[in-house]
Amino acid sequence: MKYLLTSFVLSLILLTALPTSAQVNVTTKTITPNITLVWEARSYVPPFYKGKALMPDGGDGRIVAFLPQGISQTNTTSYSWRVDGTVDGARSGIGKNTYEVRSEIFGGSPLIVVEVSDDKGPIGTGALRIPLAKPQVLVYADEPLGGVLFNVENPRLDGEEIVMETFPLFFTATRRDNPGLSYRWRVNSSSVTNPFGNSGRLVLRAESAVGTTTIGVSVTNSNRILENASGEATLYLE
């Protein structure tokens, strides 16, 4: 009985030992390199935020496809993008390695798949589902000399006044002063009028009382249905 030896070059050759007089049937399974997909969301995070901006329900973002190491994009490299199994022909084609994506409200994050090829044949494929996050609201104190105290969760009021700042994380509005954002402040569960108007900043002046005060704020986005969140901080009075 005679055996046939083969080489392995991005293909897996499966052979069966056969008599020399028999016909050899060869089954080939193509193995393609993975395409790396990197995503970024268009949502707000505060300055010096160490994490990644996440996409809320109904949010926008983009995905960039990177070819495997050693393979360069040419004028024949084509990208075929699919969203939940449906080919997006309008945004597929030669050189289109970036894909704009939006998650549907209540629909979750779509599964994005890209297949890459050139004039020589398939290059690879990649798939990605962007994780979604709920919007959050962080409240910090802002000191004249020290700036915003991001590392202090419960600040102290030991002077005449203190400024509280709101940071709405993972809202589709990319600026705190976006006109679509509405801020409603509370002090110990009671609504207060903000002299700054509709602002993420509130000034509190010292009173004779000592103890603690809860500073809360609710943020809503009029441009995105159901995009809202609340946050609070405990202020120590001395």
User: Which pLDDT does position 33 carry in this prediction?
Assistant: 55
**pLDDT tens, residue by residue, 118-176:** 999 999 999 999 988 999 999 998 887 778 888 777 777 776 788 889 999 999 988 88
Greater pLDDT, 17 or 234? 234
Please tell me the distance from the alpha carbon of residue 5 to that of residue 15, in angstroms, as a whole number: 9
Establish how many alpha carbons lie within 13 A of residue 214's alpha carbon, considering only the half-sphere containing its beta carbon.
Answer: 10
CA distances from 70 to 73, 95, 139, 200 (A): 10, 17, 47, 49
Whose CA is closest to 112, among 60, 41, 170, 62? 62
Average pLDDT, stretch 47-62? 87
User: Which pLDDT does position 142 carry in this prediction?
Assistant: 87
User: Which pLDDT does position 48 carry in this prediction?
Assistant: 78
Q: Percent of the chain beyond pLDDT 70?
A: 82
Reduce the secondary structure of the chain to three states and give it as a string. CECCCCCCCCEEEECCCECCCCCCCCEEEECCCECEEEEEECCCCCCCCCCCCCECCCCEEEEEEECCCCCCCCCCCEEEEEECCEECHHHCEECCCEEEEECECCCECCEEEEEEEECCEEEEEEEEECCECCCEEEEEEEECCCEECCCCCCCEECCCEEEEEEEEECCCCCCCCCCCEEEEEEECCEECCCCCCCCCEEEEECCCCCEEEEEEEEEEECCCCCCEEEEEEEEEEC
Please tell me the distance from the alpha carbon of residue 219 to that of residue 171, in angstroms, as a whole number: 10
Mind listing the domains of the chain with CATH numbers?
36-129 (2.60.40), 136-237 (2.60.40.10)
Query: Has residue 26 got a pLDDT over 50?
Result: no
Confidence of residue 76 (pLDDT cuts 50, 70, 90): very high
**pLDDT tens, residue by residue, 82-111:** 999 999 999 999 999 999 988 876 677 889
